[in-house]
Amino acid sequence: KAGVTQTPRYLIKTRGQQVTLSCSPISGHRSVSWYQQTPGQGLQFLFEYFSETQRNKGNFPGRFSGRQFSNSRSEMNVSTLELGDSALYLCASSLGQFNRAEAFFGQGTRLTVV
Amino acid sequence: DAKTTQPPSMDCAEGRAANLPCNHSTISGNEYVYWYRQIHSQGPQYIIHGLKNNETNEMASLIITEDRKSSTLILPHATLRDTAVYYCIVRVAGGANSKLTFGKGITLSVRP
């Protein structure tokens, strides 16, 4: 079955702009989580959505937001981009049910802010 | 989630077993041990997880000590494609929280 699909794979934006990244989870998975990966900070949790509701949030400013649709697809948005937002953004999907919490990651979206 | 400690790097010869250690001395009774790996520029890949019994799947084996304070991921016959950063994560499985807290991981280099 198809894996986690993230689009676009690469993106270049200018400081101050906003960006929207998309994630399609594995069919049947209801939980989608987002992570930011940078060389300095490593992999950091942004937020998680389950059944269209945000149920967990990491320590990121309000410029980072997300949503989940009824088909479990998710988008994350970053407004007023800063140079430090350059990173690999990873999406992970899981069933979200007890004892089946292994997460499956997409290939990521590499965002470069110039 | 309990904190884990891994050495920064290790290497092994192709075809030999790779034994990757992880310490999690503050693990709670309801926390599982998960292993993921990340090959350069790709998303992390789930490998295996366990609670207290040893686990094996097509990718690896997970050995958890009886006191659950440490574990070892075993790749029985390492190949060059197993070169990656391996993350040991301890967390409660399922429930209302799917968050994974990644540390720095251990970089495994498989040499020819």
Token pair for B99: 């968050």
- Over range A62-69, report the average pLDDT: 97
The total of other beta-carbon atoms located within 10 Å of residue B52's CB is 14
CA distance A8 to A22: 7
Res B1: pLDDT:
66
Q: Percentage of residues in chain A with pLDDT exceeding 90?
A: 79
Closest to B93 (Cα-Cα) out of B50, B32, B4: B32
Q: Give residues with Cβ within 8 angstroms of A104, minimum separation 6.
A: A3, A4, A26, A29, A92, A93, A94, B46
Does a cis peptide bond (omega within 30 degrees of 0) precede residue A39?
A: no
Q: Which of B37, B99, B104 to mutate to test the interface with A (most CBs of A within 10 A)?
A: B99
Helix (H) or strand (E) holding A67: strand A64-68
Res A90: pLDDT:
97
Res B95: pLDDT:
58
Closest to B83 (Cα-Cα) out of B106, B60, B55: B106
CA distance B73 to A68: 35
Distance from CA of B82 to the nearest CA of A (A): 17
Q: Which of B62, B85, B98, B107 to mutate to test the interface with A (most CBs of A within 10 A)?
A: B98
Residue A99 pLDDT > 60? no
Mean per-residue pLDDT over chain A, rounded: 92
Does a cis peptide bond (omega within 30 degrees of 0) precede residue A8?
A: yes
Residue A100 pLDDT > 80? no
Burial of B71 (0-12, 13-18, 19+ CB in 10 A): buried
Residue numbers of chain B with a pLDDT score lower than 50: none
Residues A5-48: tens digit of each pLDDT: 999 999 999 999 999 999 999 999 888 999 999 998 999 999 99
Residue A88 pLDDT > 60? yes
Residue A81 pLDDT > 90? yes
List residues of chain B with CB under 8 Å from any CB of chain A: 34, 41-46, 49, 87, 91, 93-104
CA distance A74 to A67: 6
Q: Give residues with Cβ within 8 angstroms of B50, minimum separation 6.
A: B32, B33, B62, B64, B71
